[in-house]
Amino acid sequence: MFELPPLPYDHAALEPVISRATMDVHHGKHHKKYIETLNALLAKAGRTPDSLEDVVREAAGDDAARKLFNNAAQAWNHTFFWTAMSAGRQAPEGVLIQAIARDFGGLEALKAAFVEKGAAHFGSGWVWLAAEGEALKVLSTHDAEDLLIHRGLTPLLVCDVWEHAYYLDHKNDREGFLNAWFDALPNWSFAEGQYAASRGEGQAWTHPAPVKPAAGTAELDARSS
């Protein structure tokens, strides 16, 4: 079964952009519910996958597995989102900042493109900074959709534009949230590692693997049920 990954920082560490109250609900209720529903669906199907990435990719495009896809992809998206943020303000460096200058004209131009894409996204979803090999691009996805199902794209950063991600703190000002988020919270050192992976240098981030039952646990559970 998959476990709810702990945050890499305190629930209040992202204030004032994202408050403790938002994180308590977003991580402790929304993300937790996706994990719980995912585990229930897998148990019902008798599946014990090796990775969450496998579940997302196998369920994508299968109408009969839509509920499984939605919960698996949202579980993956949220864990990536927490990882792609930093409690301490960072700035891109090295090869990544050079690529940003090449493909966008500089960090401020990237911010403008990222905020515009996210603010203009209709309905729920996600706005991503991604790499296709060496090339950088900004794109958005709807609802639970992520970049695992888009061959050749490596996510570097993501911001959640579902209303529950920002409404307590920013009300309906999604653009204001995105501006504040981009200035303060991106984990650029993480993005640099992802960009290296996109260029064939190392492995891209993967979700924590499911926890396998200890030897004999399944048999014990079966006897006691």
Closest CA to 107 of 119, 83, 127, 91: 91
Same domain, 75 and 98: no
214 belongs to a structural domain = no
Which residues does 76 contact at the CB level (< 8 Å), separation at least 6? 52, 53, 56, 146, 148, 207
CATH of the domain at 53: 1.10.287.990
pLDDT tens for each residue of 209-224? 999 876 554 444 444 4
pLDDT tens for each residue of 165-213? 999 999 999 999 999 999 999 999 999 999 999 999 999 999 999 998 7
User: What local confidence, expressed as pLDDT, does residue 204 receive?
Assistant: 97
CA distance 26 to 125: 14
CA distance 206 to 209: 8
pLDDT tens for each residue of 21-79? 999 999 999 999 999 999 999 999 999 999 999 999 999 989 999 999 999 999 999 99
Residue 107 sits in which domain range? 94-198
Residue 168 Cα distances to 20, 118, 135, angstroms: 10, 18, 35
Mean pLDDT of 118-147: 98
Same domain, 35 and 128: no
- Of 60, 85, 110, which residue is a domain's last? 85
pLDDT tens for each residue of 70-104? 999 999 999 999 999 999 999 999 999 999 999 99
Q: For the chain, how many structural domains are there in total?
A: 2
Provide the residue type at 86 as one letter: S
pLDDT higher than threshold 50 for residue 129: yes
Closest CA to 10 of 20, 22, 25: 20
CB 149 within 8 A of CB 56: yes
CB 187 within 8 A of CB 93: no
> What is the chain's mean pLDDT, rounded?
94
Which residue is associated with the tokens 């794109």? 139
Provide the residue type at 83 as one letter: T
Q: What percent of the chain has pLDDT over 70?
A: 95
User: What local confidence, expressed as pLDDT, does residue 215 receive?
Assistant: 55
